[in-house]
Chain A
Amino acid sequence: MTEDASNGGADRGLFGLLGRIEFRLAQACIALMTVLVLASAVARTVGRPASWTVDLATFTFAWAVFLGADVAWRRSSMVSITLLVDRVPERLRAWVGLLNLALIAGFLAAMVWTGAMLVRTAQDRGLSGLPGFSYAWVTAAVPVGCLLMLLTTVVKIRGTFAEARGATTS
């Protein structure tokens, strides 16, 4: 549960608050999803299948995934293979890390942009089980989640710079 110490105290302030909110929301999504799937199983067993439970469950899941992805990204708990990078001299390693983060930021920006385009086209698409509920609400998980991760990436980039400056002054 510890925040990455290298983020320059970014767990305080607005960014930290955002992190706590997204964490709670993701927890709520997982809990709700579990209840909904359970409800759909019960409904089916008693002979009254309720397709809205399934639609709503996948909706909460999409949000759990994209919010949870940022939680994992903030905590730096994503799997990466550092076998080669570990052999690179320390000065160069910081630059490689920076290059990675810059590429990730570019990719996430593209995902926010294309995700937003997707939301626009999904507006008139409904969900069979949930009349009046636009598919755009499901789609929105992509740009919102990617925007949150983009923010985290930017904070990580800033943290790297702060660290480099700290290393040269001390």
Chain B
Amino acid sequence: MITVFIVFLVLVALGMPLAFAIGISGFVFVLNEPSLSLTIPAQVGLTQTQKFAILAIPLFIFAGNCLNETGITRRLLDFAGALTGHLRAGLAHVGIVSGFMMGGVTSSAIGDATMFGRILGPEMTARRYAPGFAAGTIGSAALITTMVPPGTGLILYGTLGEVSIGRLFVAGVVPGALMTILLMAAVAFSARKGDYPRERPERAPLTEMLRTGLGSIWALLFPVILIAGLRFGYFTPSEAGAFAVAYAVLVGVLAYRELTWERLGRALGDTVVDVGMIMLLIVFSGSWGHGLTWDRIPQRLMGTLLEITENPAAIMLILVVALLIAGMFMDSTVLILLLTTMLVPVAVAAGIDPIHFGIVMVLTLTMGLITPPIGLVMLIVCSIFDTSVARYMRESWILLLSLVGLIVLLVVFPEITLWLPNIVYSDG
């Protein structure tokens, strides 16, 4: 596997698309093991698409793209504006609160960053927000999406690690809410220093909050329906995804009356590209999974870790630091793909709850989306606000720091993550 790993790193350094870098290095593994059939990459790759559970990913992506076309985003922003517009640096708060609410609709941080940047960006620039701070706010707000159900990262982790996706979804709610609060605190701190304007002189009247809240009720209800449906076994995660698409179409046609055939076609077209992109990674990573099991990498890793310490919290801390570093240099989806099957057995053997580990792992890896040198979301928001990474770091470090703080909190206190799923699934 060492050769495979080196080949992979060299190809990535050459700027090859990650999917092909994974595919080629995985192929090298099969070439190196004469006892393995050459058809294995094609075979295990295809197998990835034939698991019913993995269908949840394209379906939730499709549902999110549909909801985006229904005008729900604008309504959520209005509601967030009514709730937080009176605070100092109102627009930044609006971005973060809508990040939390949108999280219940969309499943990918990259999509959300692009969308929020496009909608809130011009206004933030007009209000003289420091570009690095504005970029940091939008980027970290988009990150909340990964924690609030449904999120692609958690679905992937659940499918590959054979952990209940329903429980993972429930477990993400409290960390997602905490993330929102911590980020708002960080914004409030920066707002005082930067003297950013309020969007409205005083708190919005209750009637406006109610009106805008009712306007976005369909988006807010969705994660609740989703979790209830999964909890009571009305549907499996994949069926929930299909149901989500139907829900999005119904809301768009009946409630908001903004979804047209043209927009539905556009959502479908975007889905084709999104699915092709993410699934090709998953398909080509099949041989890696095969190789890792073949070479008994999880067992060896476990042995090494146990030689250092036997304390579960310490093992988790070591893993988290490693994940944080890995996440800074590699795409989070790729890492979830390559590492889940490897690390879940290690976590379980070390006495760490796989749900707890999943939340921490996905959050830690997605942190890499907004950190230098190659955070994808960071690069997107920096280009939207036309600013440099150095400036982004200088003006947004406190946002990043609050997220690192959250990860430490979650590692040290597993109860934060686990109490809600334990209540929801108490008799199961």
Contact = CB atoms under 8 A, between A and B. Distances in A.
SS of B interface (majority): helix
A50 interface: no
Interface in B1-52: 11-20, 23-24, 27, 38-39, 41-43, 45-46, 49-52
B239 interface: yes
A41 B331 contact: no
Given A30-B271, A111-B42, A100 B15 contact: yes
Given A80-B16, A80-B18, A107-B24, A62 B39 contact: no
Interface residues of B, number: 57
Contacts of A114: 38-39, 41-42
B272 A26 contact: yes
B243 interface: yes
B413 interface: no
B58 A41 contact: no
Interface string A63-101: 011111111110101111111110000000000110110
B268 A58 contact: no
A104 B20 contact: yes
Contacts of B164: none
B14 A99 contact: yes
Given A81-B12, A83-B374, A65 B27 contact: no
A8 to B, nearest CB: 20
B326 to A, nearest CB: 13
A71 B272 contact: yes
Interface in A42-74: 44-45, 54, 57-58, 61-62, 64-73
B273 interface: yes
Interface stretch (A10-18, A137-145, A160-168): A137-145
B276 interface: yes
A64 B280 contact: no
Contact of B275 (A45, A64, A73): A64
A97 B283 contact: no
A62 B49 contact: yes
Interface in A118-170: 118, 121, 138-139, 141-143
B115 interface: no
Contacts of B15: 80-82, 84-85, 96-97, 100
Contacts of A44: 239
Given A27-B269, A31-B268, A70 B276 contact: yes
Contacts of A69: 19, 276-277, 279-280, 283
Contacts of A21: none
A44 B27 CA distance: 40
A134 to B, nearest CB: 14
A99 B11 CA distance: 10
B235 interface: yes
A143 B41 CA distance: 12
B276 A72 contact: yes
A20 B49 CA distance: 23
B190 interface: no
Contacts of B51: 58
B269 A61 contact: no
A126 B279 CA distance: 25
A111 to B, nearest CB: 6
A138 B329 CA distance: 36
B86 to A, nearest CB: 39
A38 B42 contact: no
A30 B58 contact: yes
B287 to A, nearest CB: 11
A5 interface: no
B392 interface: no
A34 B242 contact: yes
B62 interface: yes
A33 B238 CA distance: 11
Contacts of A41: 235-236, 239, 242-243
Interface of B: 11-20, 23-24, 27, 38-39, 41-43, 45-46, 49-52, 55, 58-59, 62, 234-236, 238-239, 241-243, 245-246, 265, 268-269, 271-273, 275-277, 279-281, 283, 329-331, 373-374, 376
Given A80-B18, A85-B14, A141-B46, 14 more contacts: A58-B52, A61-B58, A69-B283, A72-B276, A77-B277, A81-B374, A96-B15, A97-B15, A99-B14, A103-B16, A110-B27, A111-B23, A111-B42, A118-B43
List the 10 closest A-B pairs by CB distance, nearest first.
Answer: A68-B276, A85-B15, A78-B17, A37-B242, A41-B239, A72-B276, A69-B280, A69-B276, A65-B279, A38-B242
